């Protein structure tokens, strides 16, 4: 039996963290959700060699260390080279999405505003 998927959500909004995890659990109740409130916390968590999430979601706009810098730092960690990383925001200029892809994001997403849209988005990613 495969081990449960480990999703790492890096977002400074606790409500959005819950929103993402609740949506993920409607797809697969065994998904493990881990959170960081900003890039600095994320890098601290990822410094643990035993922590290698299957999928990482990064909010673009966070205090202290934002999405761009967090993505750059994560991509420097060899064991996470092939890890899918999705950067998201409520809305940004098209050149920002292109920049995130060039920096190693798997995809740039517009943050869904309702549970149904988020479930559909996560279903494509997590299945």
pLDDT tens, position by position, 68-119 = 999 999 999 999 999 999 999 887 777 888 999 999 999 999 888 889 999 9
Q: Where are the domains of the chain?
A: 11-126
Tokens representing residue 17 in the block: 């963290």
3-class DSSP state of 113: coil
11-126 maps to CATH 3.40.190.80: no
This prediction's pTM: 0.92
Find residue 87's DSSP bridge partners: 58, 108
CA–CA distance, 61 with 112 (Å, rounded to integer): 15
């Amino acid at each position: 039996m495969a081990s449960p998927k480990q999703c790492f959500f890096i977002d400074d909004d606790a409500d959005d963290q819950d929103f993402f995890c609740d949506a993920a659990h409607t797809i697969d109740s065994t998904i493990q959700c881990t959170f960081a409130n900003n890039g600095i916390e994320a890098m601290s968590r990822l410094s643990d060699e035993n922590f290698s999430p299957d999928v990482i979601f990064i909010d673009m706009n966070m205090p202290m260390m934002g999405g761009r810098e967090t993505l750059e730092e994560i991509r420097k960690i060899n064991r996470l080279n092939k890890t899918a990383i999705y950067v998201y925001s409520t809305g940004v200029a098209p050149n920002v999405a292109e920049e995130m892809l060039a920096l190693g994001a798997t995809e740039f997403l517009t943050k869904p505003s309702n549970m149904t849209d988020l479930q559909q988005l996560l279903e494509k990613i997590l299945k």
